[in-house]
Amino acid sequence: MVPASAAEPFNTSYVEAPAYVMNDHTPFGVRFSADASSGLTPDTTYYVKVRFSPKPTPQNVNNRGFTFNEETASWAQERGDWEDNPTITTGADGSIANTWLYGKFGDEAKSGSYYLIISLSESGADSTFNSSAPPKVTVLDAATGGSWIHNGATVTGSKIDGGRFAVRSSDSTDDQDDSISTLYSLWEMEINGIDDDSNGLVDDANENQGPVGAISGDYRSSVPSDTVVDVYLRRGQTATINDFTTGPVDCDIAVGADDTTPPTAATGVTATPTSDGMVLSWDAATDAGGSGLAGYNVYRWPVAIIDSPGYTTNPAVMIGVTNGTTFTDSATVAGVEYAYRVRAVDGDTNVGPRSNTATAVAVARNGIARDFGANRYETAFAVSRSTFATGSIESTVVVATGEDFADALAGSSLAGVHGSPLLLAHETVLDDLKAEIDRLGATDVVLIGGTGVISQDIEDELSSTYNVKRVFGVNRYETAAEVAREVAAFGGNVSDAYFVRGDDFADAISISPFAYSTQTPVLLVQTTGVPSWTEAVIDELGVTYGMIAGGTGAVDVNAEADLETLLGAPLVRWAGLGRFETAALAAQWHVGQGLASYSYVAVATGYNFPDALGGSAAAGANGGVLLLTRVDSLVPETATVLEDNVALIDEVRVFGGVGAVDATVYKAIKNILQ
């Protein structure tokens, strides 16, 4: 009978799990299989979790662990949604073939004895099946009870040709699968398709622990400190390295290198926030192993717990390498408290113990710059160049007319889906437009609007070089609806939508950066009602949450009531006394919801639309906000937002030349930042 209730066991016929794992974010490998007596449904796909429990069955709040999902290249927390985890599929007899999984403990506040449980769920909601007779493991405190080893000599072999790394107690003489000796750790050698260091990048340079150029045979694993072990590479009956003594507590030793003595710890680490970033300094370490001190690895993590408080700790991600005793972290975000740690490295890649931990709150950089050109089109290109690096667009750029606002406004969400700037087209194809598309490295172009706004001649000329698609309707309302359908097709957020007046830009432009960053459609309405094209796409896409930019003079109570009926829920509205206050309110709301930050602030004229719409992609791409101003004076509404959040602002970008935002406004902003 297939178990029908939660927390039922399934029969694991074979489990190969390490006896020791670190309590930090060091990953480990585990292999398991199940035969036809598993009790699982044949030919069925299950979500799978690797988790730790103080008892042989899961214990709710006392569970720990992460599982790596190779398909999404991300670590799924034990307490998260089942759907975030990898999947396995049973055979025709309910068996599971020999399967590699990768996990980590991820909570430096806990250590000791745990059971390593493999859990399955078909639906992700109801029945949970847990491995029978789970192995007991010792979770080592990374700072006081364990060490690491990695390859200190060039190693051949990789995952493709069966490269496998295992550490056993030193009395092993049998095949690894059958040995009765203790299996201390288990891993597959690089390249393994795993984000070993939890920095969001799979198999990046930071994960190459061994000699330069040896990444195909790279390995790194946690072991008990000061312990005699045998090291196996690939699979065989003979250890590659016999009777190797692991390193001191909290050190990382290069197995096979001439020098296996780690350097001492760096000491006296301090972190000083400056406008250039966080400046770190420390006292030099020493090295007595013979290969000499080579430099220092610098690690950082946010002090605040960003996942589930009390169940995990933030990983210390390596952010840089230096051979001096100072380092500037220029990638900080104002207002965030960071923790830093430094480790000394010698010439044979042995890594010393961690330094003291230094913490500090980052301050804003308060920079200001202007992006502009001779006209609206060249300004859009200038914004694109300052925001999007050469060759950074994977495939697609979005182009709208520069003569009206509606299509470009609707196109902001689609630009966000593609990670594209929002470029503007003239009556004819400008050489600058094609030059910018080429600089970005794009091969595909999406035109927003019909031939009445972007001519067929432009489409034909672009089609001679790029793959061109046109998204349009019979009018601006249907065009916005068609853009929303395109956003849905590419996986954007279509359960929500922004609603703005379709015949005026004043309030509408303030939400375009958020439409970009959240990939949320902008749908157009009339002042007194909802057009049929907008109604249809709300129903088709299943929009249930709506936001209105502007007061009742822009979208009146009748239109709002119609939208509420269509969505089945009240809407959020940002309505100031004018366009400047509306933009400020929209910015404050999105920052308060964690959907944007004041780290990046865009400023554009509130009396014309092209610079603001081109700049919306820049603000959205940087997770920032857009504020509006008069041409010749900084409006109080915008000045107040800048003054209240000056400690959080890294950069203000002013879009447009002095004819759009003159030198008086620029100077007023600069004075606030100073």
Mean pLDDT score across all residues of the chain: 90
The per-residue pLDDT for range 70-79, each reduced to its tens digit, is: 999 999 999 8
Q: What is the pLDDT of residue 214?
A: 62
Sign of CA dihedral 157, 158, 163, 167: positive
Give alpha helix (H) positions in 543-609: 557-567, 579-592
Q: What is the pLDDT of residue 319?
A: 94
- pLDDT at residue 2 above 50? no
Q: What is the pLDDT of residue 146?
A: 93
The per-residue pLDDT for range 483-535, each reduced to its tens digit, is: 999 999 999 999 999 999 999 988 889 999 999 999 999 999 999 999 999 99
- pLDDT at residue 4 above 50? no
- 514-517-523-527 Cα dihedral, nearest 10 degrees: 10
Under 8 Å between Cβ of 384 and 440: yes
The per-residue pLDDT for range 307-353, each reduced to its tens digit, is: 455 678 888 999 999 999 999 999 888 888 999 999 999 999 999 99
The per-residue pLDDT for range 202-246, each reduced to its tens digit, is: 888 777 777 776 666 778 899 999 999 988 887 666 667 888 999
- Where are the domains positioned within the chain? 9-140, 146-255, 267-361, 367-673
| CATH of range 267-361; options 2.60.120.260, 2.40.280.10, 2.60.40.10, 3.30.1540.10 | 2.60.40.10
The per-residue pLDDT for range 118-157, each reduced to its tens digit, is: 999 987 765 789 998 899 999 999 999 899 999 888 776 5
CATH code for the domain defined by 146-255: 2.60.40
328: left (phi over 0), alpha (psi -120 to 50) or beta: beta
SS3 382: helix
9-140 and 146-255 agree in CATH topology: yes
Most confident of 32-36, 59-63, 651-655: 651-655
- pLDDT at residue 436 above 70? yes
The per-residue pLDDT for range 286-311, each reduced to its tens digit, is: 999 999 999 999 999 998 865 455 67
Under 8 Å between Cβ of 421 and 428: no
Q: What is the pLDDT of residue 439?
A: 96
Under 8 Å between Cβ of 137 and 18: yes
CATH code for the domain defined by 9-140: 2.60.40
- pLDDT at residue 6 above 50? no
d(CA 645, CA 145): 44
- pLDDT at residue 163 above 90? no
* Residue 422 to residues 40, 64, 377, 479, Cα–Cα distance (Å): 51, 44, 11, 16
- pLDDT at residue 248 above 60? yes
- pLDDT at residue 159 above 60? no
Beta pairing class for 651-655 and 367-371 = parallel
pLDDT above 70 covers a percentage of the chain that reads 94
- Binned at pLDDT 50, 70 and 90, residue 366 comes out as confident
